[in-house]
Structure 1
Amino acid sequence: MRRLLRLLVISGIALATVLLVVAGTGIFVVRHSFPSYDGTIELTGLDADVEVVRDANGIPQIYADRPADLFAAQGYVAAQDRFFEMDFRRHVTSGRLAELFGADALETDKFVRTLGWRRVAEKELGLLSPATRQYLDDYARGVNSYLDQHSGSGLSLEYAVLSLKGTDYRPEPWTAADSLAWLKAMAWDLGGNMEEEITRTKLAASLPAKTIDSLYPAYPYSRNEPILSSGAVDEENKFTTAPVDSEAPARAMFSKELLKSLDSVDKVAKGLPLLLGRGDGIGSNSWVVSGEHTTSGKPLLANDPHLGATMPGIWTQVGLHCNKFSPQCPFDVAGFSFSGLPGVVIGHNSAISWGFTNLDPDVQDLYLERLTGNGALYNGKVEPLKLRTEEFKVAGQKEPERIIVRESRHGPLISDVDDDAEQAGELAAKGKSTEPYGIALKWTALTPGRTADAIFAMNKAQSWSAFRTAATLFEVPSQNLVYADREGHIGYQAPGKVPIRRAGTGDWPVPGWDPKYEWAGFIPFQAMPTEFDPADGIIVTANQAVVPKSYRYDLTNDWDYGYRSQQILERIQAAGKLDVAAMSSIQLDTKNRNAEMLVPYLLRIGISDDFDKQGQDTLKGWDFTQPADSAPAAYFNIVWRNLLALTFHDQLPEAVWPDGGSRWFEVIRNLVVQPNSSWWDDLRTPQRESRDDILREALVQGRAEITTKMAREPSNWQWGRLHKLTLTNQTLGKSGIGVVDKLFNRGPYELGGGESVVNAIGWDASEGYDVTSTPSMRMVVDLSDFDKSRWINLTGVSGHAFSGHYTDQTELWVKGETLPWAFTKGAVEARREHTLTFTKPER
């Protein structure tokens, strides 16, 4: 599993200074960075005054006469609230963390620089429309105005601490490329199956093909419905079989040398900072219902992306309003965005609303390159590798570090980001012989695209046709887009660049020297899944299969298995007429459909010991929901974790032990009807175990564990006492020094929900019960009256650790509550708490 990178080590002297700052005279330093939410501030380049209205939670609604002023103000406001987060993100995406945090971050930097996120972002600038490029520049102008007026601890307390460490650092000006590079990080976490390719290859070293296949079950189409039915794409691209060679490469080529290289790649990739999250928890729920299902007669749209739980949260809320809506100033939009990125990513404007979930298409392939010196074999000939030198400044070191990055026709050799492989890259650059194989990554996000154009086009769109046109530009990461409008229409569109493979399925690394494994272009947009005003008036997306098996192209073989989506669909179908509150209640649904399947098997197990049977008895009559105070949920989840360990830990490498997500739901569902499967046999014992032996042992071990962790009496068991969320500051919160961590982190919070349930508060069964991912925000949009909509963020708008808006939304989020979402000018005025006016500088 991914390991958190320890980014900051504070010396004893620095620690004492920090404590002094916080405890006494440093109150000024702590508050020095708190932004002004009232008054008047000069902002370079304005054409007219801009007004920023904030409510009691500090959420900004920005009003301007022209887009240039609107986005400059958004940039300034973003820097007020979250500049250190923005600066940290751009150091991640440009491979420059070592400049701030020293050699501990160098391995991460080398990997990111090898991929070239920042290089691609800079190339994208030339592809964007003049309007989008101007919006990005205007945003940067606003950020830089803030930087001109503030420095050091006046920007953020983190900079004061960095100065105590002796780091001589001042942030450089913000640029348009800084904003675009964040889209690459988003694409990395949300788009690809590189880790699954590596996992399958590792398994192939010790397990036969049929056994591996049992760990990757087919999607259960008969039980969990895909997003779309047949006929939901353009007529000329309906569901036919395309002539694709789907054979996997010969597994004999997966040598020990190759497996070692894959281990190195996996290790470094998992060392990246968890910008969005990890594992099965990285998904989302979104759904939209037409007016026939609502009390108002107009559509309702819900969305809650499931991402890593970070401090501050991934999202920030904002409203962007032209004082006079017109073709010259076409913005009247509000919703969620990323700090550092102008516009609104998810939300609504005055005519339409939209939401995202992860399509998770297979847009990454690993190519095994047969190397010779500074070339790679291809189609019987040696092609020269492209070479470039990357230099890294490292805090605490006088001299920079350097690496040679090599690229084949398929992409960068990511296997070079390892001490041994790095030396091989340097030898190859000198023309000396080196290792016979390298591993190149081909990934759609390494080709410049126009996703930024798509974001602004969606912000402006006033109809389904305009929204779908915007989606043609949304290249990476591919998402499930749900749509609703004031006219009563609902829709779905899958955008993005998804490769067509001439051979192979994308599940395994393929030989880069064989031309038959080249991509044959991309699925044309007109063939991508889409639906408009479905007959049943319901569209549910929760990372499940998008299309039926008969769809012509391969999108991916790694869908979520549809437990969340089916629960959402059944809740909608049973609800009668829905309103905003009913939609919100579905978002909080904690029913565990895996438990619903498995508990009957557990209750049939004979247990003679009264102590152990008392645990089993807590499962009787359980409704399979998982609120934080649930005793049966606590016991079941402990049993589930023990069941996975007993079944698989003896036969699988530790690096691929089950995380307990929806794939493992499906694996166990298939196994329980095979009571004598070899998977049930525990190879660590002399006897041969069956299903019931393992289920019994899981119940017994679960009873012992819950007694140790909580109490003997089931009346004192609560799922939330195990399932806790700690919101961790991305830098100072990972210092490893308890007292400092407590100053910047928040929690723990005892939570319900769980892995692959609708209220997807994820945990990793290979590690423990602590929360690893959460609904990063929740929103429900009412198309009958936008001011009746509701929203909530995981944390507050502020990234300043001691601000009142650091976690002022968290307590509401924990309780499942939401905030009113004011949109019209009158509703915003009614919630006004602060007013900041930007003016042109006096000459």
Structure 2
Amino acid sequence: RLRLYERLGASAADALLPPTPVDLGPAAGSLAGRLLEGLPRSRGRGSNNWVVSGSRTASGRPLLANDPHLLAQQPAAWFELHLRAPGYEARGVAFPFAPGIGVGTTSHHAWGVTNVSGDIQDLYVERLNDTGTAAEFDGTWEPLEVRSETIEVRGGRAVTFDVRESRHGPILETATVGVGGTEFVPIDGTFALRWAAADGLLEPSSLVDLVRATSFEEFRQALRGLSCPGQNVVYADIEGTIGYQCTGRFPIRRTGEGSAPVPGWTSEHEWDGYVPFDELPWSKDPGSGFIVTANNRIHDEDYPHLIGLDFHTPYRARRIAHLLSSNDGVSVADCGSIQVDTVSLPAQRLLPHLVSIDSTNDEGAEALERLRRWDGDLRADSWEAAVYEVWLGEIAARALGAEDDPETFAAYFSSREAFVCSALPAMLESRRPPPVGGSWDEILAGGLAAALRLLEERLGDERTAWRWGALHRVRFAHPLARMPGLGPMFVAGEHELGGDEQTVLQAGFDAHLGFDALVIPSWRVVVDLADLDASRAVLTTGQSGNPSSPHWNDQSALWAAGELRECPFSRPAVEAASERSMLLVPG
């Protein structure tokens, strides 16, 4: 924001970073200097989950669907497992280091999660004494805590350094800047980071309590121990209950919204604890018959606490809700289809304005005519989707003066959400002039011509063969794939992909790096509470991180095709589906 203010002025900067829509909550917070510019920018990371009451399903029992969105990687982010012990049985996924199943199913209930996108950290500007050993607070000097940290370096000397902490948290000495955080720079100023997660993440026993719950009320009690990160947890059980609970530790700030660094030398900006669990948003058996979360704002305007500022736009949640509300007999297959839906609501909003121009050549006229008939579906095989996505980038470059200030453009447009979903439609609908001058007709026409040239360079002069998936691919590569000569062996799959960061099928990309999908559904699951053995799921690649294993990428083709595989739960179904078993006998 500061760069945009300096480059374009306050009015244009406000237009490019407008308040989020009413159903999203407060406007996004401003950035503060190079430190905050260096923080990783959103590439569409999020998740989808929903639960449907039996009153709206084909089976008469609830359905639960979840697809957490994470960076494309190999090995897969999750490990699937089915754990049985006295008083405990659950099937689901966990991170390799986790003390239990994070998203799962029991014989009684199932649950799924998405990120709340809450604001759980603040930067404090500290005033230190001349020796840098104490920080001012309400007129007194408080000594900093100093501890020594040692990092062992394989094949080299250990690195030892001191960490200084004020009452607010560690003093930040350097920051990573650039795309991917490739450069370390000293921080100009003395900032301390207050982070809610530093007060504890979760109680490991809570993951066991989630499984052992026998009602939504007991399940909510177990969620009290899951403090950070904040999650939107949806729930469904065999008795027909569906529910939602927001979890997390969200600070109660004395003043302000935490959108910019605040003075650390006064108590005016301290935290007065956290929002009590009983005051966090929750819901049980709503009249709509379903609950949807997709990293969107999850509370009403009159909610008394600040949960966050940077919620994702509501388009994924709106699309899911529309598809569910138009179907009174939702099935497992229906939920699987929704998970890979690629219709873009932002595209449908923008298209009437984009195609209102005239083209000065036949190629542009043909493209405009095809786009006028397009439904906004970003399918991998779509010609129109390819033109639309490339055109957006060219429009942004011209509207923001990318040639004159490429760094500001890259910092702003690497995450396209603010421009594509808020700034551009608002400016086109109000006919507000472009931030760098000129007319929108000139920018749109010039951008279209440039987009067609770029597509010809990338995909060839046979225009009828252009398709979005040829530009927009996902690659599942092991870290060892970077080693010379090892690349092909350690790539678990490369696939064309539809969608983008605003479609239910999450396929976010960094516009500064190109069109390859970076953030994708890391696991897709649909749980049928009428018949747990009818549940379906799929990983991105496979269970194994070993290229020689048959399970290295045996799910990759299914995932890319938008399909799900059987996900048995009962003992007979598991035994019927098992390929082999191993019995470990102690002693």
TM over 0.5: yes
- Amino acid corresponding to residue 701 of structure 1 in structure 2: A
Q: Which residue of 2 aligns with 1:366?
A: 123
Q: 1:697 aligns with which of 435, 439, 446?
A: 446
4+ long deviations beyond 6 Å? none
Which has the higher mean CA deviation after the structures are superposed, 712-721 or 700-709? 712-721
Cα distance change on mapping 1:436 and 1:722 into 2, 3 Å:
closer
Q: Which residue of 1 aligns with 2:158?
A: 400
Q: Which residue of 2 aligns with 1:22?
A: none
| 2:465 equivalent to 1:716 | yes
- Identity over aligned residues, as a percent? 35
Over residues 275-298 of structure 1, what are the superposed CA-to-partner deviations in whole Å (9 max), with x where a residue is unaligned? xxx624210000111011101111
Is the 8 Å Cα contact of residues 284 and 306 (structure 1) preserved in structure 2?
Answer: yes
| 2:411 equivalent to 1:411 | no
Cα distance change on mapping 1:478 and 1:407 into 2, 3 Å:
same
Q: Which residue of 2 aligns with 1:732?
A: 480
- Amino acid corresponding to residue 336 of structure 1 in structure 2: V
Cα distance change on mapping 1:676 and 1:281 into 2, 3 Å:
closer
| 2:304 equivalent to 1:552 | yes
Over residues 688-719 of structure 1, what are the superposed CA-to-partner deviations in whole Å (9 max), with x where a residue is unaligned? 41222211111111111111111334321111
Is the 8 Å Cα contact of residues 200 and 227 (structure 2) preserved in structure 1?
Answer: no
Over residues 712-742 of structure 1, what are the superposed CA-to-partner deviations in whole Å (9 max), with x where a residue is unaligned? 343211111100111121x31233x2x2222
What is the alpha-carbon distance in structure 2 between the residues aligned to residue 416 and residue 811 of structure 1?
43
Q: Which residue of 1 aligns with 2:22?
A: 221
SS of residue in 1 equivalent to 2:136: strand
Is the 8 Å Cα contact of residues 493 and 556 (structure 2) preserved in structure 1?
Answer: no
What is the alpha-carbon distance in structure 1 between the residues aligned to residue 163 and residue 564 of structure 2?
48
What is the alpha-carbon distance in structure 1 between the residues aligned to residue 205 and residue 568 of structure 2?
27
Q: Which residue of 1 aligns with 2:568?
A: 822
Q: Which residue of 2 aligns with 1:579?
A: 331
What is the alpha-carbon distance in structure 1 between the residues aligned to residue 255 and residue 2 of structure 2?
18
Cα distance change on mapping 1:656 and 1:796 into 2, 3 Å:
same
Cα distance change on mapping 1:204 and 1:410 into 2, 3 Å:
farther
SS of residue in 1 equivalent to 2:207: helix
What is the alpha-carbon distance in structure 1 between the residues aligned to residue 213 and residue 447 of structure 2?
54
What is the alpha-carbon distance in structure 2 between the residues aligned to residue 518 and residue 496 of structure 1?
19
Structure 1: stretches of 5+ with no match in the other structure:
1-199, 227-245, 271-277, 323-328, 425-434, 682-687
Describe how 1:458-477 pairs up with structure 2 within 5 A. Answer: 458-477=210-229
What is the alpha-carbon distance in structure 1 between the residues aligned to residue 213 and residue 60 of structure 2?
22
Task: Compute the displacement of 1:449 (Å).
Answer: 4.3
- Amino acid corresponding to residue 410 of structure 1 in structure 2: H
| 2:530 equivalent to 1:784 | yes
Cα distance change on mapping 1:369 and 1:206 into 2, 3 Å:
farther
Q: Which residue of 2 aligns with 1:568?
A: 320
Considering only aligned residues, what root-mean-square deviation do their CA atoms show, in Å? Answer: 2.5
Cα distance change on mapping 1:704 and 1:472 into 2, 3 Å:
same
| 2:279 equivalent to 1:541 | no
Task: Compute the displacement of 1:455 (Å).
Answer: 1.8
Q: Which residue of 1 aligns with 2:489?
A: 743
Is the 8 Å Cα contact of residues 201 and 229 (structure 2) preserved in structure 1?
Answer: no
Over residues 338-389 of structure 1, what are the superposed CA-to-partner deviations in whole Å (9 max), with x where a residue is unaligned? 1122321101101011000110100011111122221112222222111111
Is the 8 Å Cα contact of residues 43 and 519 (structure 2) preserved in structure 1?
Answer: no
SS of residue in 2 equivalent to 1:639: helix
What is the alpha-carbon distance in structure 1 between the residues aligned to residue 239 and residue 67 of structure 2?
24
Q: Which structure: larger Rg?
A: 1
Describe how 1:274-289 pairs up with structure 2 within 5 A. Answer: 279-289=42-52
| 2:281 equivalent to 1:532 | no
Is the 8 Å Cα contact of residues 379 and 513 (structure 1) preserved in structure 2?
Answer: yes
Task: Compute the displacement of 1:561 (Å).
Answer: 1.2
Q: Which residue of 2 aligns with 1:755?
A: 501
Task: Compute the displacement of 1:395 (Å).
Answer: 2.7
SS of residue in 2 equivalent to 1:295: coil
Task: Compute the displacement of 1:803 (Å).
Answer: 1.1
| 2:354 equivalent to 1:602 | yes
Task: Compute the displacement of 1:756 (Å).
Answer: 1.2
- Amino acid corresponding to residue 218 of structure 1 in structure 2: P
Over residues 505-544 of structure 1, what are the superposed CA-to-partner deviations in whole Å (9 max), with x where a residue is unaligned? 1111111112101111111111100100101111010011
Task: Compute the displacement of 1:640 (Å).
Answer: 1.1
SS of residue in 1 equivalent to 2:81: strand
Cα distance change on mapping 1:436 and 1:311 into 2, 3 Å:
closer
Q: Which residue of 2 aligns with 1:20?
A: none
| 2:432 equivalent to 1:669 | no
Cα distance change on mapping 1:701 and 1:206 into 2, 3 Å:
closer
SS of residue in 2 equivalent to 1:301: strand
Q: Which residue of 2 aligns with 1:197?
A: none
Structure 2: stretches of 5+ with no match in the other structure:
178-183
Q: 1:614 aligns with which of 358, 363, 366?
A: 366
What is the alpha-carbon distance in structure 2 between the residues aligned to residue 444 and residue 207 of structure 1?
35
Over residues 309-334 of structure 1, what are the superposed CA-to-partner deviations in whole Å (9 max), with x where a residue is unaligned? 01011111100123xxxxxx221110
| 2:527 equivalent to 1:806 | no
Describe how 1:204-603 pairs up with structure 2 within 5 A. Answer: 209-221=10-22, 259=33, 262=35, 267=38, 270=40, 279-322=42-85, 329-372=86-129, 373=131, 374-397=133-156, 399-416=157-174, 437-603=189-355
Describe how 1:117-128 pairs up with structure 2 within 5 A. Answer: none
Over residues 108-164 of structure 1, what are the superposed CA-to-partner deviations in whole Å (9 max), with x where a residue is unaligned? xxxxxxxxxxxxxxxxxxxxxxxxxxxxxxxxxxxxxxxxxxxxxxxxxxxxxxxxx
Cα distance change on mapping 1:497 and 1:210 into 2, 3 Å:
farther
What is the alpha-carbon distance in structure 1 between the residues aligned to residue 361 and residue 2 of structure 2?
43
Task: Compute the displacement of 1:215 (Å).
Answer: 3.4
Task: Compute the displacement of 1:574 (Å).
Answer: 1.3
What is the alpha-carbon distance in structure 2 between the residues aligned to residue 597 and residue 526 of structure 1?
38
Greater share of strand = 2
- Amino acid corresponding to residue 562 of structure 1 in structure 2: P
Is the 8 Å Cα contact of residues 563 and 662 (structure 1) preserved in structure 2?
Answer: no
SS of residue in 2 equivalent to 1:836: coil
Is the 8 Å Cα contact of residues 387 and 452 (structure 2) preserved in structure 1?
Answer: yes
- Amino acid corresponding to residue 456 of structure 2 in structure 1: T
What is the alpha-carbon distance in structure 2 between the residues aligned to residue 509 and residue 201 of structure 1?
13
What is the alpha-carbon distance in structure 1 between the residues aligned to residue 175 and residue 44 of structure 2?
27
Greater share of helix = 1
